[in-house]
Chain A
Amino acid sequence: QVQLVVSGGGVVQPGRSLRLSCEASGFTFSDYGMHWVRQAPGKGLEWVAGIWDDGSNQYYPDSVKGRFTIYRDNFKKTLYLQMNSLRVDDTAVYFCARDQEGGYKRPFDFWGQGTLVTVSS
């Protein structure tokens, strides 16, 4: 069965960096686009990064562009989110999610369980 296991969250000071990982199993990882979505405490869903199946294209909203980097290792079946220059308002649960089969511009059909990132001094 499809599984996405997210790790790497924790407490970090403003301005510091953190890297999240999402380990995939139960499907051919290299066939699917992947994403990171976050949810601040008590708030709604915010998409923060996406990457094509082969890793050749990454895309971000303006809120994280230049600070966050999404990348993947298809051999290790793992998705990453490198977060630099963290701010207090980056505090959230971070989920990884898989594109529905079929290429670009798809809904997210499987989600990992999420990891909490707290940015605080």
Chain B
Amino acid sequence: DIVMTQSPASLAVSLGERATINCKSSQSVLFTSNNKNYLGWYQQKPGHPPKLLISWASTRESGVPDRFSGSGSGTDFTLTISSLQAEDVAIYYCQQYYDIPPITFGQGTRVEIK
């Protein structure tokens, strides 16, 4: 099974500042035949289901603000919030959908306002 490890477990960032969340997979999630990384990022606010923000490591979903961006390849990935807004307070999860089953998630990163 591919293990997804996120860091940090939590972070506090001032409004308008950058937030960076890391995700490392125990094996590569890059499919060389199509050069796609099978890696997604989700945002979950309290009492709500997760919401897909980023697919294929760097493709922002429709309607997601452009302050959210994803980068990385192979085993190391990053979700960046370029200018933190109050509504971005949430838990963020990475997910691999490359080597399945099982589909696996990181343990989550809690983002708060400093």
Number of A residues whose C-beta is below 8 Å from B? Answer: 23
Check A61/B55 contact, CB under 8 A, given A44-B93, A111-B50.
Answer: no
6 examples of A-B residue contacts, CB within 8 angstroms: A44-B105, A45-B50, A97-B49, A105-B97, A107-B40, A111-B49
Which residues does chain A contribute within 8 Å of B48, judged by CB atoms? 113
A32 CB to closest chain B CB, in angstroms?
A: 14
Residues of A within 8 A of B (CB): 35, 37, 44-47, 50, 59-62, 95, 97, 100, 105-109, 111-114
Instruction: Please indicate which of the listed interface residues A45, A60, A95, A100 has the most CB atoms of chain B within 10 Å of its own CB.
Output: A45
Report the 4 A-B pairs with minimum CB-CB distance, sorted nearest first.
A107-B40, A111-B49, A61-B102, A47-B103
Q: DSSP class of B's interface residues: helix, strand, loop or mixed?
A: loop
Residues on B lying within 8 angstroms of A by beta carbon are 38, 40, 42, 44, 48-52, 55-56, 61, 93, 95, 97-98, 100-108
**CB-based contact B50/A105 at 8 Å:** no
Do the beta carbons of B100 and A105 come within 8 Å of each other?
Answer: yes
Contact among B38, B49, B103 for A50, CB-based, below 8 A? B103
Q: Give, as a whole number of angstroms, the nearest-CB distance from B64 to chain A.
A: 11
Contacts of A35 in B (CB 8 A): 103
Query: Which one of B52, B98, B100, B107 contacts A108 once the chains associate, using CB atoms below 8 Å?
Result: B52
Interface centre among A100, A107, A113 (most CB of B within 10 A): A107
A117 to chain B, nearest CB (A): 15
Say yes or no: A95 contacts B93, CB within 8 Å: no
